[in-house]
């Protein structure tokens, strides 16, 4: 899918890495998702392209008041290494880390103000998880009159356990979430397409 305004993407966009922190990508976790390594590989490529092009990189990570995770499940401990991005990804010099108290990256955080200060109006969003914080962030970006590009293969989409209406497969969750976002809130693209656009190549 070609990206609009390719020549301007480096001047208008930031790459937002949502909730990719040690606690959520730890292979020792009992519920570790085997698709995480592929997601991390693609995020690393996306960050390389952003830094090469001069596009800002923002990590949206759990902060004070954070209360995310399944109902009755373990919560993230603010202030611990569990809340930090994996060292292989960053932050690097010039990257920005914002702390958020809820699922989305905007509510209760400095994200909107940071984007204004950077004079950027487009979010390239990746991370965890597609139908949770990533979707919430993209919807909130729309309400802030900002554009969003979803890096599809740099996100993790999880299945949904039975909540009373039956188990929902990963594929079903992805199909519905992407359809809603594409119709109303975001452009969907692959990591390679976005990297090409950031570097000024044809996408």
| Residue whose token pair is 């008041």 | 65
Across-strand partners of 96? 58
Q: Could you give the domains of the chain?
A: 6-198 (3.40.50.850)
pLDDT bucket at 102, cuts 50 / 70 / 90:
confident
Task: Give backbone dihedrals phi and psi of 47, rounded to 5 degrees, phi first.
Answer: -65, -40
CB 58 within 8 A of CB 16: yes
Residues 135-191 pLDDT 10s: 999 999 999 999 999 999 999 999 999 999 999 999 999 999 999 999 999 999 999
Q: Which of 67, 136, 143 is nearest to 105 (CA)?
A: 136
Q: What is the value of pTM for the model shown? A: 0.91
d(CA 37, CA 34): 7
């Amino acid at each position: 899918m070609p990206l609009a305004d390719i020549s301007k993407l480096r001047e208008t966009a930031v790459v937002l890495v949502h909730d990719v922190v040690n606690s959520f990508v730890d292979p020792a976790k009992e519920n570790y998702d085997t698709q995480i390594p592929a997601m991390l590989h693609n995020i690393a490529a996306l960050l390389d392209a952003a830094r090469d092009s001069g596009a800002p990189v923002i990590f949206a990570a759990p902060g004070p008041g954070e209360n995310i995770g399944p109902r009755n499940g373990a919560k993230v401990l603010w202030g611990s290494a569990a809340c930090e991005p994996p060292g292989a990804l960053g932050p690097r010099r010039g990257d920005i880390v914002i702390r958020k108290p809820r699922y989305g990256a905007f509510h209760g955080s400095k994200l909107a103000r940071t984007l204004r200060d950077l004079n950027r109006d487009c979010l390239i969003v990746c991370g965890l998880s597609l139908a949770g914080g990533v979707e919430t962030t993209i919807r909130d970006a729309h309400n802030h009159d900002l554009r969003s590009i979803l890096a599809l293969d740099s996100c993790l989409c999880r299945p949904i356990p039975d909540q009373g209406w039956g188990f929902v497969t990963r594929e079903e969750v992805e199909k519905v979430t992407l359809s809603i976002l594409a119709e109303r809130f975001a452009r969907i693209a692959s990591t390679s397409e976005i990297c090409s656009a950031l570097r000024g190549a044809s996408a």
